[in-house]
Each structure stands twice: as structure tokens, then as C-alpha cells.
Structure 1
Amino acid sequence: MSDPDGRFAAPPNSEGPRSERLFNAPVAVVLIALSMPVLFFFQRQLPDMGAAMAFAPIDLQNGRWGGLFTAMLLHGSWTHALMNAIGALAFGAPVARLFGDRIGPTVFLLFYIGCGVVAALGYGLVHWGSTEAMVGASGAVFGLIGAATRLMGGRGRVLSLFDRRVIGASIAWMAVNAVTGLIGYAPGADGARIAWEAHAFGFIAGLLVIGPLGRAFGKGPLPMGTSARPESDV
């Protein structure tokens, strides 16, 4: 229908473009975010502060693979745990919404864990043979950041890997990550070495994998009347 001036007007019950709801994150994201401070509370009760579950590159040579999974359950301080929780909440929400509510939570959880494993594995390969342990969910969270980078501005669709917005944001994230690693300071690090290489591997994993996962498990096109760029072939 049209208004008195002859311009098109949407029907009363039609839906316009939807914006992201800041304080209505999917349950899977909220649970992951809450798990970080909760697990750190119990970690502090352990005699070794969870050191036995940390990951060190030397583990790969010795055939110990469990740390690739368990290291992301540990943190070095309350600040470390809370910052990762906030990051997971902020950047995990658009990723989880892409996958929907049916099998979406399972896909989201596997994606999150997969990014964390790739991050730790990449760190282990770069520092092959090192005995310096690594803990934290930062690699998995950077995977969410990488995925969200291809969703921001896409209105529910995955932007092309070569979209200028994706390229610009990726360069900015990796520059900040590299500078932080070289300076050796980040909130919650408490003087410990920052595993910025793990962050980079997690980010790249999320950036690449969200494309095929979005095609396989995404909720589909937006309602009519919204605009978005075509989904990536990458």
C-alpha cells in the first residue's frame, strides 16, 4: 500500500530490518560465558591450581593431547576469566544466532571447542618442544571474534572473506593482537607471557570455518525487505 504522498508503506504487521539485541544473548553463549568464572572458582580449590590440565607444546611430542581441550577450561586470574567471559558473550551472540535454536547450540559449542583446539595446537607447533604451559579460553574466544567479523554488517548472513570490511577488521584485530603480544601486557595477564600466537590461530580458524558452517547450518535468508550481501563462497 502507499501513504497519502504516494510513497510505499509496509503493511502494519510486516517486519522491518532486525537489529541485534544487546541483552538477549542465546542460552548456549550465556552458559559458556558463565562457565568461565565458575570453573575458575573450582580451579582455585585444586592443589595445583589446575596445572595438570594445562597445555604445553612438549605434550605434542609426548603424545599427550588432552591439554588441547582442558587448557581452555582454565584461567590465570579472575580478570583473565572475566575478560574472556565478556568476549564470549559479546562475540558469541551473533555466531550462535546464525545457527538457530534447533541443532544450533550443538554446532555453536563444537565450533567454539574446535577453535580453542586449533588455537592451542597452533601455539604448540610454533613453540615446538617448549615446556611453558598455556591456559585460557582466549583462543576459542578469538575464534568467535573471527566468525563475528564476517557477520557484522551482514544482517544475519556471512560476508565474503574478501569483503573490504572483513579484511579491514581482520587486519585491525591481528595488529592489536601482535602489538599486545610484543609489548607483553594485557589485563589479567599478571606478568605471564601472552600466547598471542594462539589468539591468531583461533581467529583464523573462526574466520575461515564460519563460511562453510554458515552455509550448512545457517538459518537461511532474512525476511523480505531486508538487505544483505550474498553469502560467501569461501
Structure 2
Amino acid sequence: MNGERQPFFNAPWPPLLVTGVIVGLYAIQSFAPIGPVAERFGFSPAKLADGDWASLVTPLFVHADWTHALVNAAMALAFGAPVARFLGAGASGVTGFFLLYFASGVLANLGHAAVHPGETAALIGASGAVSGLMGAAARLIATRGARLGALNSPPVIGMSLALMIVNLLMAVFGAPLSGSPIAWEAHLFGFAVGLFGIGLITRLFGRRDRLTD
């Protein structure tokens, strides 16, 4: 970001690709009944216990409805853009971006399984991965993307508290607009992965000069 406002349409291509994949795949998926899609591609602790490791990744590509898909797509673009700019447009930066995105999604699902062992209800959506981008972006707000902000900085603490409150409210009342239950624990695990993982990614992919002072 380098202290300058970036136009919306000038977002780096990695978050644009994520956004396009979420919307494009749901446009195709919307022609199929949600039940079989969730059963085939969704994640559940029971499926993982049966050895279905692919189900840790496949839910990131399917969504419950248009609202679910569009909200995740919008958040992927909003929070993914500053993360992608920070990591850089080179091969290492792009690799780091996608590693962070998928690691957040996979570990969010594993966190959900740890909290709900043996549960058979299917979890779908890219919310855990998107929450990881949100956690990473929280580290960049105070510094305008110049370097990683400290974990105890006001923006990080504020975003963390806000996410916890919103997810606890959704745990009680259901998701906005639909009122359906959500895997709110996965959101919190994904956010934590992004919050802490962006530091590791920064070290591994050649951005050590942009670590917290």
C-alpha cells in the first residue's frame, strides 16, 4: 500500500482470482441441489475420521447460496488485496499469499474438527480461509502496509475483539439474512492462522525487511 490509496480495480491478481473462483464456481454449483453438493464436497469431522483428507480443502470451493458466496468473495477481495500487496507480485509473494489462504482454510477446518469430534454435519465455504486473510490484514492496518504491525497494536486487538463478538452473536442468532447456523469456531481458527501465520510467511518468502520493528 505504501501510504497511497489504491483504486478498487487495481487490486492484485491473486485476490481477484480467489474472488472470481468463488463467484464462478458458485454460478455453476447453483444449478445443483445443495444437499448432494455439501455431502460430496463438504467437510465434517466424521469424514476426516474416515480418512477423507481431501475434504479439508474441497469445502473452500463450494457455498450454501449466493449470499454466502458473494460475502466471502467480497471479503476475500477487501482483505486479500492489502495482504497480496504486502507480500509482493513476484513468484515468492504469490506463493506466500496462496499458502496463507489455503493453510487458513485447512487449519480452520481442523480446528472445527477438534471442537466437534465425530460430528457429521457438513461444513462448506471459504470463510475460514477468508478469515485468515482478515487476520493477516489486521497486522497491516496501523502501518499502512509498510511492515507487519505488532500483535498488541490497537488495530489488531480491535479487529480480533470485533470478530469474536460478531461470531459469538452469529453462534447465538445464526448468520445474517439466512438465520442458518454457521461454523463460527472455524472463522476464529482461520483468523488466528492469518494473524500469526503472516509473520511466518513474511520470513519464509523473503520479506524480512518488512517485519515488525
TM-score (norm 2): 0.89
2:101 equivalent in structure 1: 112
Q: CA offset at residue 17 of structure 1?
A: 4.0
Q: From 44, 59, 83, give the equivalent of 2:71.
A: 83
What is the percent sequence identity of the aligned residues? 45
* Distance in 1 between residues matched to 2:7 and 2:143, nearest whole Å: 15
* Distance in 1 between residues matched to 2:196 and 2:169, nearest whole Å: 23
1:100 aligns with 2:88: yes
Q: CA offset at residue 146 of structure 1?
A: 0.5
Answer yes or no: is the 8 Å Cα contact 1:98–1:218 preserved in 2.
no
- Mark the structure with the bigger radius of gyration: 1
1:40 aligns with 2:30: no
2:143 equivalent in structure 1: 154
Q: In structure 2, do the counterparts of structure 1 residues 114 and 77 end up closer, same or farther at CA, with 3 Å as the change threshold?
A: same
TM-score (norm 1): 0.82
Q: CA offset at residue 50 of structure 1?
A: 4.8
Q: Which runs of 5+ in 1 are unaligned?
A: 1-15, 222-229
Q: Which amino acid aligns with 1:232?
A: T
Answer yes or no: is the 8 Å Cα contact 1:116–1:202 preserved in 2.
yes
Q: Which amino acid aligns with 1:212?
A: L
1:128 equivalent in structure 2: 117
- Give SS of 1:116's match: helix
Q: CA offset at residue 172 of structure 1?
A: 1.6
Q: In structure 2, do the counterparts of structure 1 residues 51 and 102 end up closer, same or farther at CA, with 3 Å as the change threshold?
A: same
1:142 equivalent in structure 2: 131
1:6 equivalent in structure 2: none
Q: In structure 2, do the counterparts of structure 1 residues 147 and 37 end up closer, same or farther at CA, with 3 Å as the change threshold?
A: same
Answer yes or no: is the 8 Å Cα contact 2:38–2:123 preserved in 1.
no
Q: Which amino acid aligns with 2:110?
A: L
Answer yes or no: is the 8 Å Cα contact 2:84–2:94 preserved in 1.
yes
Answer yes or no: is the 8 Å Cα contact 2:11–2:81 preserved in 1.
yes
The Cα offsets for residues 18-62 of structure 1, whole Å up to 9 and x where unpaired, read as: 334333110111011011121112223446235311111111221
1:3 equivalent in structure 2: none
Aligned residues: 208
Divergent runs of 4+, >4 A: 218-221
* Distance in 1 between residues matched to 2:182 and 2:38, nearest whole Å: 18
Answer yes or no: is the 8 Å Cα contact 2:138–2:195 preserved in 1.
yes
* Distance in 1 between residues matched to 2:192 and 2:131, nearest whole Å: 8
* Distance in 1 between residues matched to 2:206 and 2:10, nearest whole Å: 19
Answer yes or no: is the 8 Å Cα contact 1:98–1:214 preserved in 2.
no
